[in-house]
Chains A and B, each alone.
Chain A
């Protein structure tokens, strides 16, 4: 009898253990399928995460907005960053709201710090995972590009209801994975 209860409880725990990763997958798959696509200019650099593998950290260009008059923001506070598209087709943050916006595209973010008249944002698109040997090569490719004054790295992000999922990272007009493959061959 007692062992039946334990097994029953174990099955509940096991269910929770399976449902958690499944729901993580489901949310992101739905964003990738139905979310609107944006391109953010970025600078990839290469740190390391022992558990989840190797990634390039993404330094999004213009990860700040002007401070809003009359709104007091604190470090770590959740905000909604409004997005506009510039003439070149890249996404830019224009301002932040503390309440969920109705119409305009936006991304959920956190306040990193406030300096002068700028509010810097902690964006949920701060890393792009790569195969362990690829990450350093990706960073090298990016550096070479920036040296020639072609800062043309950008990340393609899908956003749905403020929830952002990274789709791809592009450097020099091609997917980073393809660029790495070419680099390896040459």
Chain B
């Protein structure tokens, strides 16, 4: 943990401040300044890092003045499209997200405190790229895609290829995340997000588990299952081997026990490893039961 070289004073290092009004303007600035610039959205991760002198960007690009980045749109065909600047609070309280993508609303509501959720954005949470980003397990199991824009054009990247290593993502220096695209889950699907925190209720996640399950038309078989985990590996991951065990099978207590254990074995926790593995197993079991029972 690094500390400011000013002792207890956490003043920000100085920087040049830019406030583009359009996406094109923002991309031009990112292209021009590259690695010397950082984008600020909510600032709840960036400014903390800067106060601790972990980073000292020369240019800060405030994108909050760009109106076309804050939205939550849904249509059955296109699914859910969330602008990168949608605050965590707006996603958590959106009735369409709560109704059709409930696990994402739960995950967004978990992040930080009310104040942090009013300021922090879903785009910022994703781009921070840490191992414990609460929004990511839900995005993994919902098989979300991320739209990245630069002067060279745009590309769409699946969430599970976005995270490379702790705090390093596939976003290159001249790119801006503009949109999160989430397909409508198949019929007879539901999911949930379960977690444990390190110390207090509003603390960093110790283990985060998101599950999305689909049942067959008769309601007896698990047609599909996806398990997303955070805080138990260098990046958020899918527990694909565990998923394989349950896919296409009948839901049974013994099988769920096995699936939970395999998921725990897929984790690669850095610290408190034993406890995290045991809690992964417990939360996966609880999440599967909760998700399965809520399918209608």
Do chains A and B interact in one complex?
A: no
A interface vs B, CB < 8 Å?
A: none
